Amino acid sequence: MNKKYFGTDGIRGEVGRYPITPDFILKLGWAFGSVLSRSIPVKEKAEVIIGKDTRVSGYMFESALEAGLVSSGVNVKLLGPMPTPAVATITRMMSAHAGIVISASHNIFSDNGVKIFGKDGEKISDQDELAIENMIETNLVTVPSNALGKASRIENAAEMYIDFCKSTVRKNFNLHGMRVALDCANGATYHLAPKIFTDMGANVVSLGINPDGFNINRNVGSTSISTLVRSVKDHNCDVGIAFDGDGDRVIFVDNNGNVVDGDQLLYILALHRKSVETVQGVVGTDMSNLGLEKALQERRIDFCRANVGDRYVKKMMRKRGWSLGGESSGHIICGDVTTTGDGIIAALQVLLALEARDCSLSDSLAGMKKHPQCLINVPLVSNSITQDPKILKEIKAAQRKLGSCGRVLLRPSGTEPVIRVMVEAETSKEARSICEQLAQKIQSTYSRFS
């Protein structure tokens, strides 16, 4: 679908540059509230939950969204800083009609964005996003004063989410005797994750828990894993866990400092669920490592790929009737316990799996061998590049060379103005060589458009 503002994970961009401006966000709130109200019985008032991460611009956009929604006749409940999955969870718990998160996920503080959940705690559909975009193109008309919405704050939101996270594992599960390093990315999990893991008995070493509005994802978090690696080694931790700025991603580090990504976590979760007969299959994405697919096949666990983006993973999970899916970036959806990618809940599920198998994180990966992967981002000039005959010919030639031992993927990013060129091969050298050749070919083709 051709959407003007929404990408694979909501609307995102640089603060102050259209559409990430206060006036647009206000209009977005009004447009969404207007579309939402159409589906609500006339005598019923729509209610929307709003959460945000720790970016300084969140104050500005929270006020803008609140004003837009109220002007459309919608009641607003403010959560303050909360992880993206917490907003989805609390939306369901409070029977609200929708939830909105103000966040740019793993991006730096100068970016921000908006993600929208329906009353079921899942990302809204492409059709809903198109309806909102169409409404944005119309004139903003405030409802009569007697129909305006009201705004209030939910004071116990943190406690609600903490209790929910604990409820996703069995009551007698604990982390006594385990030393855990937690990297909260100076983001939305900073006041939640350390308490949850401490309450469950872990000896917690916390980092990235001092947000100042500007340091979210800065040298910490799931996209800057080296800080956590050092902490695990320095404090002799059993495991390290890193979240991203809005808490919907998780990456692990084992006791030796080795990084364990989303594909490997899916493997651990799939094997545990097979042992208790609760896995039917696993949904990955086009970016999932070939090593995951082969390892699952060897263990007779079905695997399929969805488009990149946790909303598309969830859509495929629903289609297949499966309860486990995710991305190599660390978006893990445990559909048997929650509705969307949740870093804290996925981390607890992994630790539960390790306890059940009575093995370390590194030992739990026996049987899965990741294929070397090379990823190069090329600045995007035209989406038509993915259909260029010369590029398609190069891709086919590269795939023939790799055979069944590798893959080639070319796709426009849904969150950045780049084309992602990804190659998997038996060796890092081969993957790098082929990937660089394709990237150079694309760049030379782009020169015709510049």
Q: What sign has the CA pseudo-torsion 76, 82, 84, 86?
A: negative
Identify the pLDDT of residue 387: 79
Closest CA to 349 of 158, 76, 110, 166: 166
Within 13 Å and on the Cβ side, how many CA atoms surround 350? 31
Tell me the pLDDT tens digit for each residue of 96-126: 999 999 999 999 999 999 999 999 999 999 9
What's the CA angle centered on 350, arms 183 and 119, to 5 degrees? 85
> Phi and psi (nearest 5°) for 71?
-65, -20
Fold identical between 11-155 and 373-446?
Answer: no
**How many CB atoms are located within 10 Å of the residue 418 CB?**
14
Identify the pLDDT of residue 447: 53
Identify the pLDDT of residue 418: 86
Identify the pLDDT of residue 1: 62
Mean pLDDT on 375-393: 82
d(CA 1, CA 309): 15
pLDDT at 449 over 70: no
Percent of the chain with pLDDT over 70: 98
Identify the pLDDT of residue 383: 67
pLDDT at 273 over 80: yes
d(CA 226, CA 270): 27
d(CA 259, CA 229): 8
Q: Is 105 a catalytic residue?
A: yes
Alpha helices, DSSP H, located in 202-300:
226-234, 262-275, 290-298
CA terminus-to-terminus distance, the chain: 26
Alpha helices, DSSP H, located in 240-372:
262-275, 290-298, 310-320, 343-357
The CATH number given to 261-365 is 3.40.120.10
The CATH number given to 11-155 is 3.40.120.10
**What are the domain boundaries of the chain?**
11-155, 177-259, 261-365, 373-446
Tell me the pLDDT tens digit for each residue of 20-35: 999 999 999 999 999 9
The CATH number given to 177-259 is 3.40.120.10
Closest CA to 426 of 407, 410, 445: 407
- Contact 122/314 with Cβ under 8 angstroms? yes
Candidate list 105, 288, 323, 329, residue with the active-site label: 105
Tell me the pLDDT tens digit for each residue of 244-256: 999 999 999 999 9
Mean pLDDT on 65-86: 98
**Lowest mean pLDDT, pick from 214-228, 246-260, 386-400:** 386-400
1.20.120.530, 3.40.50.970, 3.30.565.10, 3.30.310.50: which CATH number matches 373-446? 3.30.310.50
Identify the pLDDT of residue 347: 98
**Mean pLDDT for all residues in the chain:** 94
- Contact 62/45 with Cβ under 8 angstroms? no
Percent of the chain with pLDDT over 90: 87
Alpha helices, DSSP H, located in 98-156:
126-136
Mean pLDDT on 370-376: 94
